[in-house]
Amino acid sequence: MVEYLPRSAWNARPPNGGPGNLTVSRVEGAVIHWPGTGSTNPIHSKAAVASALRGWQNYHMDDRGWSDIAYQVAVDQAGRAWTLRGLRTQSGANGNNDLNERYGAVLLILVTGEQPSAAMKATTRAVIADFRKLYPRGTAIRPHSAVRPDGTDCPGPAARAALARGEFTPGHSEDDEMTPAQMQELKNFIEARTQAYALWTHRQLRKDLSAVVKAYALDIKNFERQTDAADAARAAAAVWATAPKSLQTDGAPTQAEPATPDPGAEPELALPDLEPFPAVPADEATDAPQ
């Protein structure tokens, strides 16, 4: 929930009349502004912000002839929300009366070259959420440069970029953002872990495959031994059966029993060399978090 500093916090002058309240059915969204003074001197302290707001109010009322400072709410780098005209009162900042009736106006207190802080973005999101509660159809969030007929650089390149990334949209989380360096670090980590897992899987499968091949080869060898022994015994018996009687009675061999193979004996087996899996680079494989 936003805590809005009252107009008395910046010692605001009373307005000279005013355009009245916005019409709920006409509001399309909110427009983001900045002072655009060209100065690079930061406006961060509460006293400095209050002084700047009084100066802009004087300029708008005395030099431009407007009823009040042009914006509805201001948000500073510390995340403070300042009541200017207020969210219900029509602004005078968007470019013409039609635009002021269709859009609200939120002032970001940024100077040239300054990036909006996380606190500024968080408070601006909350202000936009409050704006949408008052104007349910007013969901658009646009930079001033996108609506002003005569063109403008407002609200500056940094705020426009943040707006394009959705950083002023309610529901956006700063925790979701990653710097390019963090994204590259995450990419390297994922690639290293993926290669390490693939290499481990390859080695495990090779071990399992080797065990299956050895067991199969042993079964085949045992079968061949038993089959060869039986065939040899039958062949020898057939040969001696047709031999002369003198040979059969003179030291004739008896039919030999088939030799029983040792089922525990492991035959020599030459396994085929598998294609090696691409190695994980040493620096990535060893440095990858566990």
Q: What is the pLDDT along the chain (290 residues), one digit of tens a residue?
A: 789 999 999 999 999 988 899 999 999 999 999 998 888 999 999 999 999 999 999 999 999 999 999 999 999 999 999 999 999 999 999 999 999 999 999 999 999 999 999 999 999 999 999 999 999 999 999 999 999 888 888 999 999 999 999 999 998 766 555 567 767 777 887 888 888 888 877 777 777 777 777 777 777 777 767 766 677 677 667 666 776 666 555 554 555 455 555 555 555 545 555 455 555 454 444 443 34
The residue type at 231: D
Say what the pTM is.
0.61
Could you give the count of Cα atoms lying within 13 Å of 153 in the half-sphere of its Cβ? 10
pLDDT of res. 169: 92
Going from the C-alpha of 201 to that of each of 4, 192, 194, 196, the distances in angstroms are 59, 14, 11, 9
b/e 237-271 (16+ beta carbons within 10 angstroms → b): eeeeeeeeeeeeeeeeeeeeebeeeeeeeeeeeee
Q: Say what the pLDDT of residue 250 is.
A: 53
pLDDT at 67: 95
